[in-house]
Structure 1
């Protein structure tokens, strides 16, 4: 492939000293001409050069590979040689299916080779503009935790998608929308948290013991539109109570 690229680069007057393809690193290296070397009608490396070079590389990559997005020039210096880097990756789909979610672990599959380990990162924040897929992602996570037999609770003050899912799959005591119900639900979860901590401390002498090492079933709270709910808390005492409950879950959970 390197020799094919060299021939096409020469025919397009794209200047280079050498071109190397590294399939292990999934990178193509285009070495600049030595300093002081100027060839008539030969183009030096710039943004337009990169665009044309990527188009050439795209046509010559084997079908099982594809270029990764790249709009800026990426250079490396190796043994006093400066080289442009063009990255590519396997074209194999990274989509996952139900078989990737196992019931006996704390891993949530996000795509092939990428898992969310809730035993190490117990909290997640999902953000994005309207239409970016937040609700679809929440639906997927809900399904994954349900398949793990997790105890699921939800808060959706806007009566949106999460509320609809909750009505279908959860008991009324497991989801909340109104202000009083939300605070009551958070109080309930804090009570469970305190109970589990006492259970761990009284039954295990091992240092560093936690709910995951004890193989406890996950307890998951899905909270959609958190900012919208907080804006409705106009009573100071109510807001103080709410802040204490949610912070305790975040810090201890």
Structure 2
């Protein structure tokens, strides 16, 4: 990106991505089952979506379930899938009424067929909405997305439909699941952990990172505003020289 382009980037983030971390620790600190932490985390999702609408955010991407999360205890995974079902059944109509477009990225093969059907129904219902684009990353891993995209491009080369020297950053980005949305301006992680855990590795190459100590079930408009305020104080140069 040219220096002049960087200088004219909007200060307010257009796209915010969030790694929602801390449900289990929130529950453990209160002597409650982890399931309760996940339930409270779902409430935080609702608050964050509403806050994003109020604050004029155009795109919100939430890391709901990683490809590595399948390694968690079976009962916890079942509880999370049950919570996902309830969310898809109870929240989508309201999201639609608020003008939110709902979409999912990630490997749907490992999801139960009824969940995939609910996702497809939600995406169809809300596809024309534009007030906020809400993307949920489910069974998602950044490395897996890059590998899968590379494999698809390699297949095109093998078929003779694409030449290797035609592959560039723009083409690669347009082959990702997130091709129809801008890259995140701001990546937030809750719970005090300071890593991105295989989330949107390609897309977050130039994102600003904000790590908050707040556990996800306690996250809401105040914390979102705090992260945005910090973002607005950053000098985003995209590799351009200082001064």
Q: Which has the larger radius of gyration?
A: 1
TM-score by length of 2: 0.33
Q: Which has the higher helix share?
A: 2
Q: Higher relative CO (CA 8 A, sep ≥ 6), structure 1 or 2?
A: 2
